[in-house]
Copies of this chain bind each other. A is one copy, B any other.
Amino acid sequence: MKKRYLLAPGPTPVPPEVLLKMAEPIIHHRTPEFSQIFAEAKEWLKDVFQTREDVLILASSGTGAMEGAVSNLFNEGDKVIVVNGGKFGERWGKISEAFGLDVKWLNVEWGKAVEVEAVKELLDREGDVKGVLVQASETSTTVAHPVKELAELTRDRDCILVVDGITGVGVFPIPMDEWGIDVLVAGSQKAFMLPPGLAFIALSKKAWAFAETSRLPRFYFDLKKERKSLEKHTTAYTPAVSLIIGLREVLRMMRETGLERIYERNARLARATREAMKALGLRLLAPESPSNAATGVWLPDGIDGGAFTKALRDEFGVTVAGGQDQLKGKIFRISHMGYIDTFDIIVAISAVEMGLKKFGYPVSLGAGVARAQEILLEGYGVRV
């Protein structure tokens, strides 16, 4: 009879209305009914991407769209700069290497954002760089990279800015057209409040021109083919029907709430979490350039992160994420994306407090909750 609370940075909770919608009898994908759903979803997706370009819908996890970005836009031997400040930055590099690109790794300390100046220097030094690949939000380190400033660097070069926005799009503003982002990738299981299984990718006109000259091997992730299918309100291969029905539903909900309010809410939940953790005497993983998608927190010395997150999950029913790779066992991460609201954050902070107490850390119970409440009350127009 244990209740479960899901506060990991993906998959995120799915609203019950959406689960019910996806549980309706499945319909065929070559029908006017599905075409209508698809047509709405693809239009509404543009608003969330803040672009006038097509947003392609792929039946894959986000990594599929990342692969598509590489395999459709570059050629063997192309020089690309990969901002490598976490597990997902590393993934850009691995995909690029798998397709024979010449990767210039720009390593960044985990927990820090890339310095714009460092990217500029590398661009200038290397000269013929075709792409800069980066995360808007590096989920593994809970860092937000300066995507807007990076776009200014690539704008006037023969180089595209390829942004993994998997935990960024729909979380905080990443206006693709306004900033001049060339490729923007997202996934269903984060701010879109859906189960995993859909990836989204949009390309600027500059990126589509790159796609014309790309000759890398690809079949499933063929973006030009997807763009043609999109005109006919479908996908190149069988669409994930129930997920797309869910997508239409979440986009309807997001439109109803409004992007600005969603960004504000996520920012408030993130700030409340960060301030609560500081009130408990804990150190943030990314104090200088935190992402509003999730908050990473260093565990006090002597507490094993694996045991800590396991206790929260198995004893309290509260799932937060641990650390990955070099951060394994050292941190935990609390998500603020999607269908997460005030009292999820209260639950998460309370569970962290109780977990710390359980592990013998001299925590002042309620201190984090109190600090968070002050900030969360602002969302209801109450100033403390």
* A interface with B by C-beta (< 8 Å): 1-3, 5, 15, 253, 256-257, 315-318, 339, 341-344, 346-347, 350-351, 353-354, 357-358, 364-367, 369-371, 373-374, 376-377, 380, 382, 384
Contact = CB atoms under 8 A, between A and B. Distances in A.
Given A1-B341, A316-B343, 18 more contacts: A1-B257, A1-B339, A3-B339, A3-B343, A317-B341, A343-B347, A346-B347, A347-B347, A350-B350, A350-B373, A354-B373, A354-B377, A354-B380, A357-B377, A364-B370, A365-B373, A365-B374, A366-B366
A317 B343 contact: yes
Contacts of A377: 354, 357-358
Contacts of A2: 341
20 contacts: A1-B256, A1-B257, A1-B339, A2-B341, A3-B341, A315-B380, A316-B380, A317-B341, A318-B343, A343-B351, A347-B347, A350-B350, A350-B373, A353-B373, A354-B373, A357-B373, A357-B377, A357-B382, A365-B384, A369-B370
Nearest to A368: B366
B370 A358 contact: no
A253 B1 CA distance: 7
A379 B180 CA distance: 54
A237 B197 CA distance: 48
Nearest to A340: B3
Given A341-B3, A369-B369, A376 B347 contact: no
Contacts of A376: 354
Contact of A346 (B256, B346, B367, B384): B346
A350 B316 CA distance: 17
Contacts of A347: 343, 346-347
Contacts of A257: 1
A58 B346 CA distance: 40
A232 to B, nearest CB: 32
A265 to B, nearest CB: 8
Contacts of A316: 342-343, 380
A346 B350 contact: yes
A350 B3 CA distance: 18
Contacts of A351: 343
Contacts of A318: 343
A340 to B, nearest CB: 9
A369 B350 contact: yes
A343 B357 CA distance: 16
Contacts of A256: 1
A180 B316 CA distance: 39
A181 B317 CA distance: 38
Contact of A3 (B344, B364, B365, B384): B344
Nearest to A383: B357
9 tightest A-B CB contacts, nearest first: A366-B370, A366-B366, A365-B370, A365-B373, A343-B347, A346-B350, A366-B369, A369-B369, A358-B382
A357 B339 contact: no
Nearest to A371: B366
A344 B315 CA distance: 15
Contacts of A369: 346, 350, 365-366, 369-370
A354 to B, nearest CB: 6
B366 A384 contact: no
A350 B372 CA distance: 10
A2 to B, nearest CB: 7
Nearest to A23: B23
A382 to B, nearest CB: 5
